[in-house]
Amino acid sequence: MSAVIGISFGNTSSSIAVATQDGKVDVIANPDGDRAIPSVLSYVGADEYHGAQAKAQLIRNPKNTIINFRDLIGKNFDDADVSGSKYGAPAVKLDDGKIGYQITRDNGNIETVTVAEATKRHMLQMKVAAEDYIGKKVEGVVITVPTDFHAHQREELTKIVNDAGLKVLQMINEPSAALLAHLSAEESRLTEDKLYVVADFGGVRSDAAVIAARGGVFTILATAHKHGLGGDLLDDALAEYFAKEFEKKKKTNPRTNARSLAKLKAESITVKKTLSNVQTSTCSIDSLAEGFDFHTTINRLRYELTARLVLSDMTSFIELVVTKAGLENLDIDEVLLVGGTSHTPKLASNVSFVFPESTVIVSPALDSKALNPEELVCRGAALQASMVESFDEEEIKESLQPVVVNTQHLSKSIGIKDAEGNFTPILVAETAYPIKKSIEVTNGSSTSVVIDLYEGHRTVKETVIEAEKYSDDEEDDYSDEEPEVKKEIVYVPGTLLAQLPIKDLKPNSKLEVIVNITHDGTLHVSGRELKQGSVAVKGEIQA
51 binds Mg ion, rule: CB under 5 A: no
For residue 444, what are the CA distances in angstroms to 335, 441, 450, 536?
39, 9, 12, 19
- CB neighbour list of residue 22: distance below 8 Å, 6 or more residues apart: none
**CA–CA separation, 376 and 213 (whole Å):** 17
DSSP β-ladder status, 99-104 and 91-93: antiparallel
Binding at 230: pick from ligand ATP, Mg ion, another protein, none (beta carbon under 5-8 Å per type)? ligand ATP
Q: Which does 374 bind (CB under 5 to 8 A by kind): another protein, ligand ATP, Mg ion, none?
A: ligand ATP
For another protein, which is the closer residue by CB, 36 or 449? 449
CB of 145 to ligand ATP, least distance (A): 10
Nearest to 371 by CA among 43, 15, 13, 2: 15
Contacted by 30, from Mg ion, ligand ATP, another protein, none: CB < 5 to 8 Å by type: none
Considering beta carbons, is residue 166 or 224 the nearer one to another protein? 224
84 lies in the binding site for Mg ion (CB under 5 A): no
Q: Is 185 in the site for another protein (CB under 8 A)?
A: no
The distance of closest approach from Cβ of residue 139 to another protein in the complex, given in angstroms and rounded to an integer, is 20
**CB-nearer residue toward another protein: 55 or 182:** 182
Residue placing its CB nearer to ligand ATP in the complex, 117 or 374 = 374
DSSP sequence for 451-520: EEEEEEEEEEEEEEEPPPPP--TGGGGGTTSPPEEEEEEEEEEEEEEEEEEE-S--TT-EEEEEEEE-TT
Name residue 9's amino acid: F
Selected range binding another protein among 44-52, 65-73, 338-346, 518-526, rule: CB under 8 A: 518-526
For Mg ion, the binding residue among 5, 7, 10, 242 (CB under 5 A) is 10
Residue 90: name its binding partner from another protein, ligand ATP, Mg ion, none (Cβ under 5 to 8 Å by kind). Answer: none
Burial of 346 (0-12, 13-18, 19+ CB in 10 A): buried
Q: Which does 153 bind (CB under 5 to 8 A by kind): another protein, ligand ATP, Mg ion, none?
A: none
230 binds Mg ion (CB under 5 A): no
CB 322 to ligand ATP: min, Å: 20
Residue 90: which of 64, 118, 128, 123 has the closest Cα?
64
> Based on C-alpha coordinates, what's the Rg of the chain?
28
232 binds, among ligand ATP, Mg ion, another protein, none (CB under 5 to 8 A by kind): ligand ATP
What's the closest the beta carbon of residue 262 comes to ligand ATP, in angstroms? 15
* Closer residue to Mg ion (CB): 232 or 529: 232
Binding another protein by CB under 8 A: which of 33, 135, 402, 533?
402
CB of 275 to another protein, least distance (A): 34
Q: Rounded to whole angstroms, how far apart are CA atoms 51 and 34?
A: 8
450 binds, among ligand ATP, another protein, Mg ion, none (CB under 5 to 8 A by kind): another protein
Residue from 209, 224, 222 nearest 178 by CA: 209
Which residues contact ligand ATP (rule: CB under 6 A)?
A: 10-13, 36, 70, 202-205, 230-232, 269, 272-273, 276, 339-341, 343-344, 374
For position 323 contacting another protein by CB under 8 A, the verdict is: no
Nearer CB in complex with Mg ion: 62/202: 202
Residues 439-468 that bind another protein (CB under 8 A): 439-444, 446, 448-452, 455
Phi/psi of residue 405, nearest 5 degrees = -75, -40
Least distance from ligand ATP to the Cβ atom of residue 238, Å: 10
Minimum CB distance to ligand ATP smaller for 339 or for 456: 339
Residue 12: which of Mg ion, ligand ATP, another protein, none does it interact with, CB under 5 to 8 A by kind?
ligand ATP
8 Å CB contact between 227 and 212: no
The region of 8-16, 292-300, 447-455, 503-511 touching Mg ion under the rule CB under 5 A is 8-16
Of residues 145-184, which lie at the interface with another protein (CB under 8 A)?
147-148, 150, 170, 172-173, 176-177, 180, 184
CA angle 496, 497, 499 (to 5 degrees): 90
Residue 262 φ/ψ region, left for φ over 0, alpha for ψ in the -120 to 50 degree band, beta for the rest:
alpha
In contact, 223 and 148? CB cutoff 8 Å: yes
The reply to whether 9 sits near another protein by the rule CB under 8 A is no
Q: How far is CA 166 from the centre of its chain?
A: 24
Q: Which residues contact 329 (CB under 8 A, 6 or more apart)?
A: 319, 322, 354, 355, 356, 359
Q: Which residues contact 399 (CB under 8 A, 6 or more apart)?
A: 405
Total residues binding another protein (CB under 8 A): 87
CA–CA dist 157, 123 (Å, integer)? 10
**516 binding another protein? (CB under 8 A):** no
Residue of 109, 111, 114 whose CA lies nearest to 96? 114
Give the C-alpha distances (Å, rounded to integers) separating 223 from 36, 120, 493.
25, 28, 30
Binding status of residue 202 toward Mg ion by CB under 5 A: yes
* Nearest-approach distance from CB 377 to another protein, in angstroms: 11
Nearer to another protein, 102 or 522 (CB): 522
Specify the residue, 301 or 498, whose C-beta has the smaller distance to another protein: 498
Q: Does 220 bind another protein (CB under 8 A)?
A: yes
